Structure 1
């Protein structure tokens, strides 16, 4: 059985300030570094075999907290970056709502391609699920920790489970430094492929 732990990065000033990060390279703040250290202590108890991360610093630095406890090296993968938010990257959500009310409403309603240069959900799912599958193949039958971003994690996990966008939207957002656990039982007799084992697990913050 292969276990995949899809871990969201720690808090940043963009998270705290209500800004859209997308693929901007916002670093962890002090709270985010503390969250990463606390979560890493829990994740280390899973005895991971492989550690893969988005190449954006907030994810890589989160992964580094676990790498320091396990001695694992971090394999960077740019496919694990957050959804690209086009014109909205770095902007306050309140400003986006007032300046782009139509597109904002479409985004909030789950439109897979709301405009303003935002990456479509289908494109996001395609690159992230490919990254998750490749990560899992690095340790068949083992435990793989993948450090990524909130939107990327949800869409990638939904795609790996074979869910349509409407079902994927029912997964609540991951808290900072929380993770989703997926297991692949396809190598067992009568196995059913990837299954959702747990969601939004982590240290309360």
Structure 2
């Protein structure tokens, strides 16, 4: 059985607006983010989505709640979809990290891509079952 999966990024936060790495920091959506979530809900309104899932981070959960409420579907939380952990670099400007390390991946203490995939891919497999 095939499933359709729509990926939606969370709405804007003050960290986004300031170019900061969010990771596991938990800033709320700002006014722009609330509008972006409403726009995403409108854009998805034609789908026959059965449910929506998000990480527990408030920016993702709030975006999902807006979409779910608009569409009249359930919202579920799964921590496996949490953002990447930027460790010490959380809250730092991405441009500063890039200037110092060349890439975010090279900055010490950043969750390796392999670790992100190791938690997210099983969650996606669970959706397919």
TM value normalised by structure 1: 0.58
2:111 to 100, 119, 122: 119
Aligned to 2:66: 65
Residues of 1 paired with 2:107 and 2:86: CA distance? 9
Q: Is the 8 A contact 2:51 2:68 kept in 1?
A: no
Residues of 2 paired with 1:51 and 1:5: CA distance? 9
Larger Cα-atom Rg = 1
Aligned to 1:10: 11
Aligned to 1:51: 52
Where does structure 1 differ by over 2 angstroms across 4 or more consecutive aligned residues?
93-98
Aligned to 2:22: 21
User: What runs of 5+ residues in structure 2 fail to find an aligned partner?
Assistant: none
User: What runs of 5+ residues in structure 1 fail to find an aligned partner?
Assistant: 138-205
Cα shift at 1:106: 4.2
Aligned to 1:92: 93
Larger relative strand fraction: 1
Residues of 2 paired with 1:34 and 1:136: CA distance? 31
Larger relative helix fraction: 2
Residues of 2 paired with 1:24 and 1:76: CA distance? 17
Q: Is the 8 A contact 2:97 2:103 kept in 1?
A: no
**Alignment deviations for residues 127-148 of structure 1 (CA, whole Å, 9 cap, x no partner):** 11111222333xxxxxxxxxxx
TM value normalised by structure 2: 0.90
Cα shift at 1:44: 2.1
**Alignment deviations for residues 50-80 of structure 1 (CA, whole Å, 9 cap, x no partner):** 2111110000100111111222221100110
Which structure would you say has the larger RCO, counting Cα contacts within 8 Å and 6 or more residues apart? 1
CA RMSD of aligned residues (A): 1.5
